[in-house]
A and B are shown apart, each in its own frame.
Chain A
Amino acid sequence: MHLRISFILIYLCSCISLCTGYPDPQRHFWQTVKPILDLHCSRPCHNADDNKGGLNLMAFDFIQEIQRRGEIWVKVIEHVQDGSMPPDTKPALTKMESDTILLYINKYIRSALEKPDPGLITSTRLSNHEYEYAIQDLTGITINADSLLPRDASGGEGFDNFAASHFVTPLLMERYFEVGETVIEELGSNKEQWRSIVPENSFSIVQRIRHLWYSWIYNRNLDYEETVDNARDPIVRFTTQAYRRYLKPDERQKLVSFFEEVYHDLPEDDFRYDEAIQEVFKVVLVSHNFLIRTEVDPPLTDPYPVSSFELASRLSFFLWCSIPDNQLLEAAYKEDLHNPELYRAQVQRMLKDPKARRMAESFSAQWLEVDNLNDPSFEIDKNLFPEFDEELKSAMHDETVEYFYYTLSESRNFLELLNGRYTFLNEKLANHYGIEGVKGKEMRRVELETPERGGILGMASVLTTTSLPNRTSPVLRGKWVMEKVLATPPKPPPPNVPDLEATKQVHDELTLREALVLHRENPACYSCHQDMDDLGFALENYDALGRWRTTYTNSTKPIDVTGSLKSGEQFEGAVQLREILIAKQDQFATAISKKMLGFALGRSIEFKDTKTVESLAKVLIENNFDPVIFIEELTLSYPFQYKKSDPVVIVQMAGT
């Protein structure tokens, strides 16, 4: 008995001493905040055993841990705020309890953001697209990299410029050697193009006389010496652009020596000079300096600004998906890029350059996932939709890209992505939409007279890629809207729940709504599917290829396109939905900001980037969604301008 009491006493004492050793906020967390979380969240569902939604909140004992995994806690706050957690089947939080959670968790994660963190950007091999464009900008030779090199994977925010999923493999390297050789040989055989890069090695009469003189008098071969001098210039220019920085003296020397080596070995004929330079160019195209984007990591613990040349590369790979041009490199060399005025001028110039179209294409097709159209495994039921051919497919894809590029370069208004009164069509796609008077194959801007189309939600590309092979899918479309427009991607479905869409024998679109309503009765599905399904049903006037319809096949009843959101809005059909989405333009601003930042940095956007994303969204909202101002600010943002070193280097340096 006494023994037990003393045990309890010891336990109590140790508890107190445990608590007193910690700062006030931590003790407050244990005494006030954590008990609420335990009672309502951890114990019933989110613990190590049940692990509902893959979430174990029990594991968070310290505020620092919450701060480290801020992205989880942002979700917690969101769910408590919108009332979706705890679910209706569990006891609700009192006002007091929910206020406490919201206030303090918010406080913890806000304070975690006070110290800015630019994130780590690691070396990345050029993506196939970047390689293709870089080759084009360097040599003027056009290749199709995806048909010549193994295909890239992507990751992070879903773009193919994501470092960690780009491997360098022996197979790829073999291909780089081969493609590089082919490109340079083709360049060499195109005289005009070659001469624009490598001027002729010719000597004037005066020079020739001097050469003779020197060889008589001093026994010097000026012919040879000046040939080497002549070669130096095109070699250095070509390599500088390929390496995206000025060359170090020894690098320059090595390449020139290699030129001499080859020149020496070649027979004395008219092609000797050019062929020797070609061999040097082949070296450049397989050098890591060309193939891999690397930023040097000085041994610093704090973040620091990236160097001028690195910044130039960041800009050009973001805005052109390729290497910088000479003007940009020169600006970097003159340190102009650290002058905000001149820097903005560069960004504006780059956005005006036709090469910005590459970014528009790469970004829009991957962001909106219409590049799925080009996936060999993308499938449409040919029996049901014989009209879906290659020509239609590429017109669908191009509509999205042209449209995006137009909002970027002409109308300068990203909000038109949701509600433009025009679109881009050729004859094929216009016929598909039932719009008359468009002739020919080229895409051109067409004013819209009726409100069915205009903006990404009315595009056949989007509507087709979010359909199943044989019918529309309100769920996929709803998910797409939540992700791309509202910046609220639904949680992944619980594990081992079969993909309802693919499995249910809802072959008949007529019974789709009933099937989905039934499915939502399951509370596990309801919380996400409520919004998702209704958003999708608003788009049911578009069939699986994005054509407008008012009834389903074999039915005369008008399609039910009504729906509502958890936040209260009611709508009927695509046009009304668009208005609601415009009203939620703050969320759209967040969605674009996050994705474009991810694209620009080539990494995942994480909790530490919250402030950057927020301020970029603000820039959009405050400037009528002007993409140029937005992109300027993005390229001036902290994570774009700063970097930090890989911690391991610091450890190594400290050790040595």
Chain B
Amino acid sequence: MKSWHINRRRVLRGIGATVGLPFLQAMVPPGMKMEKYLENNRPKRLAVFYFPNGTRQDYWSPEQAGRNFEMSPTLKPLEAYRKKLLILNELKNNLVDVSGTDGHYTKTAPFLTCQLIEKTTGANINVKGTSMDQVLAQHIGRKTRFSSLEYGMDPVRGGVDSNVGYTRLYGAAISWESPTRPKPKEINPRFAFDRMFRNYIPGQVLKKENPWKKSVVDLVLEDASSLSRQLGAADQNKMAEYLESVRAVERRLEAKEDLSNFEANLTPDIRKELIQMNVRLNDFVDLNSEVNITGKIRLMMDINALALWSDATRVTTFMFGNSVSNRNFSFLDGVEGGHHSVSHHRGHPQRIEMYGKINQWHSEQFAYFLDRISSMKDGGDQSLFDNSTVLFGSSIRDGDKHRASNLPIVLAGNGGGILDTGQNLFYKKDTPLANLYLTLLKAMEVPIDSFADSTGELPGIRV
């Protein structure tokens, strides 16, 4: 029908710099100004926020179903966004919720894959699926400098959890680019910021790109590809990982076009924000400590927001903590002790009280992220929030019980006009969580018909 509306990127790829303005107009619908068109067709983004150790269950779900509901105590900090939320109740990560497995690791790694993981102390790491964010990243990621970015607060914890016989790695990753490869999280705000924006801070000593880096890359690539033919299977896999990683460095080096697209996206607003962000990072003294955890988490969220806003990537995930995180929350009034310990409340009223407060703190930080992306103008009168789908949730319901049913899941943002927000929805008991992922992926134009154990799309959430 609209065959003359050619894809903008294809134009740039094919004809490069010779493209003149009149030709570009061809992809804009008749009667619309080009600026207007670009303003209204901002990319759709996905951001996932995972929190560990479940939630105080009687404080999570608002009581009234439908559009007129009152916020629950835990979600109270999101009040300002009530009309922009979808609270999804009774979703279950079916394949994962089986008895005879561990409570945390077997639920965290599959949060976005919906598959039962291989039990291992490290030799056979396998989550049996690709996580939904990575499915999306593999579909749309080529369009941006980074196909996806993964953020978090905790480093991978060393060792094997000998209580349960799982490598702790499973508790430290929700993004899996393949069943056997987790994406590492960036946990240092300074590195995370510099990786994207270092060269766009005026007055900053420019880190000059090594002029021979290309030759360096070529040399090591050549060397490595000749070797990989003589190795055993596992060794070849390791070499393949290496080659792929060096090539990623190479791509970024060569992708001048991506870089100039990226730079074109850095509006004066964004650049101003980058300068402020840089100052805040310099001022923040606790980068490597846990002293001001709220401050640090907000820095990470700012960087996450900037990554999406600047179109450095369109897919991000964020882990508030690793599985079984025992972060000390005594800095909150009325809370004593670590997150995981408190989550095992055993019905003790005082502990339940503390548990609720820790959950609420997570909602407050999430609200901060929503505040940030709402304030970021993303074309015309839209904000980044309007063009994003933001998922906030955990892989178990009650931290005391470890069940993966009736999961705490909230969506925020309009997803660029795909979501019918402002509802508190109660699905049929044990509706597959995978149905949500299928719905989101399809809404974001990924050509798939099923995801893990999905039985169909989730009704009622799409426009």
Residues of chain A whose beta carbon lies under 8 Å from any beta carbon of chain B? 51, 54, 120, 122-125, 146-147, 150-156, 158, 160, 162-165, 167-175, 177, 181, 251, 254, 258, 261-262, 265, 279, 282-283, 286-289, 291-292, 294, 296-297, 366, 369, 371-372, 375-377, 379, 381-383, 468-470, 483, 489, 492-493, 495-496, 498-499, 502-505, 603-604, 645-649
Contacts and interface: CB of A to CB of B under 8 A. Distances in A.
Contacts of B288: 147
A125 B338 CA distance: 34
B400 A498 contact: yes
Contacts of B210: 181, 279, 282
B181 interface: yes
Contacts of B39: none
Nearest to A150: B184
Contact of B233 (A177, A265, A646): A646
B136 to A, nearest CB: 18
B204 interface: no
A174 B249 contact: yes
Interface in B423-450: none
B157 A375 contact: yes
A162 B223 contact: no
Contact of B231 (A279, A294, A369, A470): A294
20 contacts: A146-B155, A156-B122, A158-B162, A165-B122, A169-B184, A170-B244, A170-B248, A170-B249, A173-B246, A175-B191, A286-B220, A294-B231, A377-B325, A377-B327, A381-B330, A381-B336, A470-B337, A496-B103, A498-B346, A649-B233
Given A261-B215, A286-B220, A369-B159, A167 B182 contact: yes
A578 to B, nearest CB: 23
Given A292-B239, A498-B400, A154 B159 contact: yes
Given A282-B216, A297-B235, 6 more contacts: A168-B242, A288-B223, A294-B231, A381-B336, A505-B348, A604-B123
Nearest to A254: B219
A488 B169 CA distance: 25
B159 A502 contact: no
B160 A155 contact: yes
Interface stretch (B84-92, B94-102, B373-381, B409-417): B94-102
B244 A155 contact: no
Interface of B: 99-103, 120-125, 154-160, 162-165, 167-169, 172, 181-188, 191, 195, 210-213, 215-216, 219-220, 222-224, 227, 230-235, 238-239, 241-242, 244-246, 248-249, 252, 288-290, 321-322, 325-328, 330, 336-338, 340-341, 344, 346, 348, 400, 402
B184 A502 contact: no
Contacts, number: 241
A288 B245 contact: no
Nearest to A124: B238
Which of A54, A174, A282 has the largest count of B CB atoms less than 10 A from its CB?
Answer: A174
A604 B402 CA distance: 29
Contacts of B99: 495-496
A169 B127 CA distance: 17
Contacts of B220: 283, 286-288
Name, among A54, A379, A498, A649, the residue most crowded by chain B CB atoms within 10 Å (CB to CB): A379
A604 B239 contact: no
Contacts of B227: 288, 294
B216 A297 contact: no
Contacts of B121: 155-156, 158, 604
A469 B341 contact: yes
A499 B164 CA distance: 11
Nearest to A169: B184
A174 B238 contact: no
B122 A168 contact: no
Nearest to A604: B123
A173 to B, nearest CB: 4
Given A153-B122, A154-B167, A297-B232, A170 B337 contact: no
A552 to B, nearest CB: 20
Contacts of B327: 377, 379
A503 to B, nearest CB: 4
Smallest CB-CB A-B distances: 9 pairs = A155-B122, A646-B232, A151-B155, A170-B248, A648-B233, A173-B245, A122-B234, A153-B169, A123-B238
B338 A469 contact: yes
B167 A122 contact: no
A36 to B, nearest CB: 27
Given A171-B184, A296-B230, A503-B344, A153 B235 contact: no
A173 B163 contact: no
Contacts of B230: 296-297
A288 to B, nearest CB: 5
Contacts of B181: 167, 169
B223 to A, nearest CB: 6
Nearest to A165: B122
Contacts of A372: 159
A376 B290 contact: yes
Contacts of B231: 123, 294, 296-297, 646, 649
Q: Which has the most chain A C-beta neighbours within 10 Å: B168, B213, B222, B245? A: B245
Most buried by A among B155, B184, B186, B348: B184
A412 to B, nearest CB: 29
B328 A379 contact: yes
A479 B326 CA distance: 20
B300 to A, nearest CB: 14
A383 B336 contact: yes
Given A123-B238, A154-B122, A377-B154, A645 B336 contact: no
Residue from the set A254, A265, A372, A375 with the largest chain B CB neighbour count within 10 Å = A375
A601 to B, nearest CB: 13
B266 to A, nearest CB: 20
Nearest to B149: A171
Contact of B122 (A164, A282, A292, A377): A164
A394 to B, nearest CB: 15
A502 B223 contact: no
B213 A151 contact: no
Contacts of A173: 242, 245-246, 248-249
Contacts of A294: 227, 231, 235, 238-239
A124 B101 CA distance: 29
Contacts of B321: 377
Given A492-B163, A492-B165, A120 B215 contact: no
A153 B338 contact: no
A362 to B, nearest CB: 11
